[in-house]
């Protein structure tokens, strides 16, 4: 032990420790940092402090203490770094760190020093050394003392952590791919991606936005983990807006490459979101372009409250998820185009078929009308005229339904406040000649006071008119009752059209609002196109309401009810 005496306090017990085989074996290992300490206990045998008695050069090199530690207590050294306690010489892992770091050292190693022969093994990280990891072994050579020896295990730990991240990431990608394949639409695709990032990859928040190439904007469509309202602070990004062109989302869209922000609060481009960043405790973020075959769909944006959380492995997984999401979006759009094209083809075929029948009828009866004029037969002339009028009236209604459907598809609404009851009376007057021809009774049950609502007047009138026309068509005797009622608790109003007509087979009720569906009774007794009720349903739902039907069966009449918000 030549030369050692000058570096450590003299003492018989310490000398025994320094000359023990266990210590000599540790001290001779050039790869191990070694330190010897004595522990102070209070009257209750609680460790209160410890003193550095010996450290080797490897310890000095590995820890870089603020001053030479031998002869100093840990509390003395701790006072040198108490303004920045994370810069500790050696700290416990996060899940084992008490808030009082000084106390944790004394407590943990003091317990070892109580019993001769006691040992403890820890895997610890040092923030002061850039997050390096150490395998630590502490043992008690003699009661009241402990020896710490450690080696740098950063490489092994990082390899293990990297492997864990790979396993976690690949499992998340596999699960996400399975869900993305079955997503019904674009919004569902983006929601799955955001949930995967937060729930599987353990990020704090994620949002996904779609790029509008026309306006060069990207808006959040789906998000997960936004508990502090980060997206409420204006997350719309304009690609050509110079004021925020340096933000990660904009740069990712321009470069088609992931953009990492290591300290969001320090980035001037994030000034509009600074308050939300501080509230959410976000530190790092990354924006990843969702693109496939040079087509940009939008961005995935991820946020973490942990520094250095976005490792190369996690970035690789995120890039894979962004690619999967882009492919899924492309697939849903292609599927929607196919469905739309098929729907258009079906619509054109149906319209052509439905127009051909009445046009053929009109052509035939024009010929008959010509013959009745030549034969001077007034009765035949009137009968043929009535048939022609009815066919033309049906065509006008059909074309009107098509125009209404076009308006619904455009998403445009013309909202006005008006009294619904006078409008219903006007609709009845418009159809009064048809009601009189059948000898039907019709009545309105409505409040006496004005019944003001705020909605699209034209669309609502068309829906009610379709129900009135249906009631007239399918009722040969009896009458029709139109009821108007307010549902104050639900802030809705209801309009019911009840008839005493042919009724509806209960088995046909679920399909009654399907486009071009016509029940057996309907087909047998009345001509038509089969789109009226589907148009009614589309209108009512567009106005935020519901339409329902009730019938006790064939020959028992029916009641159609529209329920729509008052405003």
The answer to whether the beta carbons of residues 87 and 127 sit under 8 Å apart is yes
| 117 and 94 fall within a common domain | yes
CA distance 385 to 266: 82
The answer to whether the beta carbons of residues 207 and 220 sit under 8 Å apart is yes
Half-sphere exposure of 268 (CA within 13 A, CB side): 4
User: Quick one: 30 exposed, middle or buried, by C-beta within 10 A (0-12, 13-18, 19+)?
Assistant: exposed
Reference 248, options 232, 230, 264; nearest CA is 264
253 is a domain residue:
yes
CA distance 147 to 543: 78
**What is the predicted pLDDT for the residue at 244?**
43
CA 169 vs CA 200, 280, 303, 312, 394: distances in Å:
8, 24, 16, 12, 62
| 166 and 122 fall within a common domain | no
Q: Where are the alpha helices (DSSP H) in 182-284?
A: 186-195, 248-255, 274-280
| 535 and 426 fall within a common domain | yes
**What is the predicted pLDDT for the residue at 87?**
38
397 is a domain residue:
no
User: Quick one: 213 exposed, middle or buried, by C-beta within 10 A (0-12, 13-18, 19+)?
Assistant: exposed
Pick the last residue of a domain from 122, 137, 152.
Answer: 152
Range of the domain at 28: 5-152
Helix (H) or strand (E) holding 386: helix 378-410
The phi-psi region of residue 364 (left if phi > 0; otherwise alpha if psi is between -120 and 50; otherwise beta) is: alpha
| 9 and 134 fall within a common domain | yes
**What is the predicted pLDDT for the residue at 560?**
92
| 122 and 163 fall within a common domain | no
**What is the predicted pLDDT for the residue at 95?**
42
Reference 494, options 564, 406, 410, 411; nearest CA is 564
Pick the last residue of a domain from 277, 302, 336.
Answer: 336
Number of domains in the chain: 3
**The 3-state secondary structure of 478-518, one letter per residue:** CEEEEEEEEECCCCEEEEEEEECCCCCCHHHHHHCCCCCCC
| 262 and 277 fall within a common domain | yes
386 is a domain residue:
no
CATH, residue 60: 3.30.450.20
CATH, residue 446: 3.30.565.10
117 is a domain residue:
yes
230 is a domain residue:
yes
**What is the predicted pLDDT for the residue at 306?**
86
DSSP calls for 216-243: TEEEEEEEE--TT-GGGGT--EETT-GG
Q: How many CB atoms lie within 10 A of CB 125?
A: 20
CA distance 441 to 303: 68
Measured in degrees and rounded to the nearest 5, phi and psi for residue 536 equal -60, -45
- Residue 434 per-residue DSSP state: H
CA 474 vs CA 145, 397, 443, 528: distances in Å:
101, 16, 17, 11
364 is a domain residue:
no
CA distance 372 to 395: 24
Q: At what angle do helices 154-181 and 312-374 cross, to 10 degrees?
A: 10
Measured in degrees and rounded to the nearest 5, phi and psi for residue 376 equal 55, 45
CA 233 vs CA 271, 373, 421, 479, 498: distances in Å:
11, 76, 45, 58, 51
**What is the predicted pLDDT for the residue at 89?**
35
Reference 242, options 260, 216, 266, 276; nearest CA is 216
The answer to whether the beta carbons of residues 498 and 567 sit under 8 Å apart is no
| 480 and 502 fall within a common domain | yes
Token pair, residue 40, equals 């102070």
| 30 and 12 fall within a common domain | yes
CA 303 vs CA 260, 285, 310, 378: distances in Å:
10, 4, 9, 84
Q: Three-state SS for 247?
A: coil
Per-residue pLDDT tens over the stretch 404-462? 666 666 667 777 788 888 888 888 888 888 888 889 999 888 887 777 788 888 888 88
How many residues does the structure list for the chain? 567
Measured in degrees and rounded to the nearest 5, phi and psi for residue 110 equal -65, -35
What residue has token string 């009614």? 536
CATH, residue 305: 3.30.450.40
CA distance 320 to 318: 5
Pick the last residue of a domain from 291, 316, 336.
Answer: 336
133 is a domain residue:
yes
165 is a domain residue:
yes
Q: Three-state SS for 265?
A: helix
Reference 477, options 524, 532, 437, 429; nearest CA is 437
| 116 and 257 fall within a common domain | no
| 145 and 167 fall within a common domain | no
What residue has token string 């894979």? 320
Q: Three-state SS for 142?
A: coil
| 278 and 298 fall within a common domain | yes
What residue has token string 């936005």? 209
Long-range pairs, 424-427, Cβ under 8 A, ≥24: 424/464, 424/482, 424/484, 424/495, 427/461, 427/464, 427/465, 427/468
The ranges of the chain with pLDDT < 50 are 1-10, 80-103, 128, 236-244, 523-524, 526-529
Q: Three-state SS for 169?
A: helix
| 189 and 117 fall within a common domain | no
């Amino acid at each position: 032990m030549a030369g050692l005496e000058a570096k450590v306090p003299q003492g018989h017990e310490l000398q025994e420790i320094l000359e023990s085989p266990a210590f000599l074996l540790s001290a001779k290992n050039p790869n191990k940092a070694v330190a010897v300490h004595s522990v102070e206990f209070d009257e209750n045998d609680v460790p209160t402090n410890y003193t550095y008695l010996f450290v080797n050069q490897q310890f000095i090199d590995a820890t870089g203490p603020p001053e030479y530690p031998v002869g100093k207590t840990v509390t003395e050294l701790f006072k040198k770094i108490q303004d920045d306690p994370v810069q500790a010489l050696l700290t416990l892992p996060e899940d084992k760190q008490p808030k009082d770091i000084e106390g944790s050292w004394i407590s943990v190693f003091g317990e070892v020093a109580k019993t001769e022969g006691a040992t403890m093994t820890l895997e610890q990280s040092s923030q002061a050394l850039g997050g390096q990891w150490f395998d630590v072994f502490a043992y008690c050579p003699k009661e009241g003392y402990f020896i710490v020896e450690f080696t740098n295990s950063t490489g092994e730990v990082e390899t293990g952590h990297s492997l864990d991240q790979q396993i976690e990431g690949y499992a998340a990608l596999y699960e996400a791919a399975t869900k993305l394949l079955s997503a019904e639409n674009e919004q569902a695709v983006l929601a799955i991606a955001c949930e995967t990032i937060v729930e599987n990859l353990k990020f704090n928040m994620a949002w996904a936005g779609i790029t509008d190439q026309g306006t060069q904007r990207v808006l959040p469509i789906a998000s997960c983990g936004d508990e502090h309202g980060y997206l409420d602070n204006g997350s719309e990004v304009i690609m050509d807006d110079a004021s925020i062109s340096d933000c990660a989302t904009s740069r990712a869209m321009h470069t088609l490459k992931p953009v990492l922000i290591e300290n969001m609060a320090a980035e001037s481009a994030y000034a509009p979101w600074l308050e939300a960043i501080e509230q959410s405790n976000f530190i790092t973020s990354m924006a990843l372009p969702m693109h496939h075959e040079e087509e940009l769909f939008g961005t995935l944006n991820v946020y973490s409250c942990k520094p250095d959380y976005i490792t190369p492995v996690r970035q690789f997984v995120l890039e894979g998820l962004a690619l999967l999401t882009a492919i899924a979006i492309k697939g849903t759009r292609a599927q929607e185009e196919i469905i739309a094209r098929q729907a258009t083809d079906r619509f054109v075929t149906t319209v052509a078929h439905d127009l051909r029948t009445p046009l053929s009828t009109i052509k035939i009866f024009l010929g008959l009308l010509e013959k009745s004029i030549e034969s001077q037969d007034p009765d035949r002339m009137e009968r043929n005229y009535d048939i022609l009028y009815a066919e033309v009236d049906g065509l006008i209604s059909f074309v009107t339904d098509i125009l209404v459907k076009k308006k619904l598809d455009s998403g445009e609404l013309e909202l006005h406040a008006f009294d619904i009851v006078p409008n219903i009376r006007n609709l009845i007057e418009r159809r009064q000649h048809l009601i009189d021809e059948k000898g039907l009774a019709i009545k309105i049950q409505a409040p006496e006071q004005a019944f003001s609502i705020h909605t699209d007047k034209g669309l609502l009138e068309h829906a009610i008119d379709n129900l009135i026309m249906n009631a007239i068509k399918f009722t040969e005797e009896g009458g029709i009752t139109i009821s108007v009622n307010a549902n104050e608790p639900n802030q809705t109003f209801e309009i019911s059209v009840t008839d005493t007509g042919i009724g509806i087979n209960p088995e046909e009720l679920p399909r009654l609002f399907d486009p071009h569906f016509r029940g057996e009774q309907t087909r047998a007794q009345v001509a038509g196109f089969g789109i009226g009720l589907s148009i009614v349903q589309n209108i009512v739902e567009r106005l935020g309401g519901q339409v329902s039907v009730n019938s006790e069966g064939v020959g028992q009449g029916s009641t159609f009810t529209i329920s729509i918000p008052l405003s």
